[in-house]
Amino acid sequence: MPTDEQIERVRELVRSVPEGAVTTYGDLAEAAHLPSPRISAWIMKHDSSDLPWHRVVRADGTPAPHIAAKQLELLRHEGVPVRDGRVDMKSARATLTP
């Protein structure tokens, strides 16, 4: 289990992603000093209901399949460049500032 600090750190980072931008599980893991992107995913799954969870996508810009539909709609709604079911990471990827 990730430590409470790690969890809070990731939650803070997600909160810091501005509207119209996105981040990735890998970026979160790096910024929060987690040992693996899977931990970011674990945290998002269990403790993200009160966060802008839709701003977290995979490294290739595709959202996790089970939430893809809703997520893409939310992202489009806030002006994120979505083309053919994937986010244009080159322009939408947020810079995570510790």
Contact residues for DNA (CB under 7 A)? 1-2, 24-26, 35-42, 44-45, 48, 53, 56, 58-60, 64, 66-67
The answer to whether the CB of 68 falls within 8 A of the CB of 62 is yes
Q: What angle do CA 21, 6, 68 make, to 5 degrees?
A: 40
Distance (Å, whole) CA 92 – CA 64: 17
Q: What amino acid is encoded at 31 in this protein?
A: A
User: What minimum distance in Å lies between the beta carbon of 74 and DNA?
Assistant: 11
Closest residue by Cα to residue 83 from 52, 60, 51: 60
Q: Looking at beta carbons only, is 25 or 92 nearer to DNA?
A: 25
How far apart are CB 98 and DNA at their closest, in Å? 18
Closest approach, Cβ 65 to DNA, in A, equals: 7
Q: Which is nearer to DNA, 40 or 92 (CB)?
A: 40
